[in-house]
Amino acid sequence: MSTFYFIAFLSIFFSILVISAKNPVHSILYLILTFFTFTIHYILLNAQFLAIVNFIVYMGAILVLFLYTLMLINLNKESEPVKPFMVKIAGVFGGGILAVAVASSLKLIGASNPVLLQNPDLGLVKNLGKVLFNEFLLPFEISSVLLLSAMVGAVLLATKEKEPKAA
Amino acid sequence: MESLTNTMHAVPLNHYILLSTIIFAIGVMGVLIRRNAIVIFMSVELMLNSVNLLLTAFSVYRGDATGQVFVFFIMALAAAEVAVGLAIIVMIYRNTNSIDINVLNRLKW
């Protein structure tokens, strides 16, 4: 039980560091740590498939993509222009209001039941695969089209435009 | 693995909701206070992940695997989104030589 609270504290701590780090590279490294704590959360919930997918897809693929993009964009300019102080205060205030609103609405519900794992093999690959390929077969196929179109779109956007030919 | 999940038995669902709320709010703050487009993008990822965690917690709470399948779809969506978004950022950098979002205010015309 205390494991959850410790990991939750780490998640919040690292995610605060993500948005407060001056250097974007440090932000990405803190984001990797945050995602690692999320992986531990998934393991604690016995969602083993999601833990592995989170580890490979998020920490392995997406964040490497972020790092590559940062590498392509030169960051020699040391000082990122910062927003005015009042805007920052307003931003933090707005986010805090959001958190307080949801938290206080939780107060209305009162104490909740603990999260119990009724079915130990709920999050295992075998069980999830059965659900995925029986009930969600069509969305699964459509998501492949989505990934293909994203790939085509990314290539189209990132390729340098040729000089416009005389039309 | 069984012993690991047994340690979880006393965590109320409310605490998961609170954790996800806080991390989502941090993501919102990151979008609001930063000017670097990549950091803003990372804050969006943070929000997506907090929702993923909440969906998984609900799925375990209800004993229903559908929530975890949804998380899988969200991850596929996030991968596609990151690919296109980072391509857009690279293109913005190529055109304006910066990734400051305040340069983009002419988008409204």
Residue A137 touches partner B, C-beta closer than 8 Å:
no
Which pLDDT score, from 0 to 100, does residue A9 have? Answer: 93
Which pLDDT score, from 0 to 100, does residue B12 have? Answer: 85
* Chain B residue with minimum CA distance to A79: B36
Query: Is the per-residue pLDDT at A145 higher than 90?
Result: yes
Q: Which two tokens stand for residue A25?
A: 């590279």
* Long-range contact set of residues A16-20: C-beta below 8 Å, sequence gap at least 24: A16/B26, A18/B26, A18/B30, A18/B39, A18/B42, A18/B43, A18/B46, A19/B26, A19/B27, A19/B29, A19/B30, A19/B33, A19/B34, A19/B39, A19/B43, A19/B46
Domain carrying residue B78: 2-101
Average pLDDT across chain B, whole number = 85
- Longest pairwise C-alpha distance within chain A: 70
Which pLDDT score, from 0 to 100, does residue B105 have? Answer: 75
Query: Per-residue pLDDT tens for A55-78?
Result: 998 888 888 888 888 888 866 665
Separation in Å, CA of A40 to nearest CA in chain B? 11
Query: Is the per-residue pLDDT at B24 higher than 90?
Result: yes
Q: Is the residue at B107 inside a domain?
A: no
The more confidently predicted of residues A36 and A157 is: A36
Verify whether the Cβ–Cβ distance A53 to B72 is below 8 Å. Answer: yes
CB B51 within 8 A of CB B20: yes
Query: Is the per-residue pLDDT at B99 higher than 80?
Result: no
* CA dist., res. A11 & res. B49, Å (int): 11
Q: Residues of CATH 1.20.120.1200 domain(s) within chain A? A: 1-75
Separation in Å, CA of B62 to nearest CA in chain A? 8
Q: Return phi, psi of residue A114, to 5°.
A: -70, 155
We report the CATH number of the domain holding residue B93 as 1.10.287.3510
CATH architecture of the domain with residue range A1-75:
Up-down Bundle (1.20)
Residue A129 touches partner B, C-beta closer than 8 Å:
no
Q: Is the residue at B106 inside a domain?
A: no
Which pLDDT score, from 0 to 100, does residue B2 have? Answer: 55
- 3-state SS, residue B50: helix
pLDDT bucket at B5, cuts 50 / 70 / 90: low
Residue A113 touches partner B, C-beta closer than 8 Å:
yes
Shortest CB distance from B68 goes to which of A47, A90, A112? Answer: A47
Q: Is the residue at B109 inside a domain?
A: no
Query: Is the per-residue pLDDT at B20 higher than 90?
Result: yes
Which residues are registered as beta bridge partners of A114? Answer: B12
Rounded mean pLDDT, B88-105? 81
Residue B43 touches partner A, C-beta closer than 8 Å:
yes
Which pLDDT score, from 0 to 100, does residue A88 have? Answer: 86
Query: Is the per-residue pLDDT at B104 higher than 80?
Result: no
Query: Is the per-residue pLDDT at A143 higher than 80?
Result: yes
Q: Is the residue at B89 inside a domain?
A: yes
Query: Per-residue pLDDT tens for B46-75?
Result: 999 999 999 999 998 888 888 999 999 999
The more confidently predicted of residues B53 and B103 is: B53
Query: Is the per-residue pLDDT at B18 higher than 80?
Result: yes
- Predicted ipTM of the assembly: 0.87
Which pLDDT score, from 0 to 100, does residue A113 have? Answer: 76
Please report the number of interchain residue pairs, chain A to chain B, with beta-carbon separation below 8 angstroms: 258
Query: Per-residue pLDDT tens for A91-139?
Result: 899 999 999 998 888 888 777 777 777 777 788 888 888 888 999 999 9
Q: How many domains does chain B have?
A: 1
Q: Which two tokens stand for residue B27?
A: 């993501």
Which pLDDT score, from 0 to 100, does residue B29 have? Answer: 93
CB B74 within 8 A of CB B52: yes
Percent of chain A with pLDDT strictly greater than 70 = 90
Which pLDDT score, from 0 to 100, does residue B97 have? Answer: 79
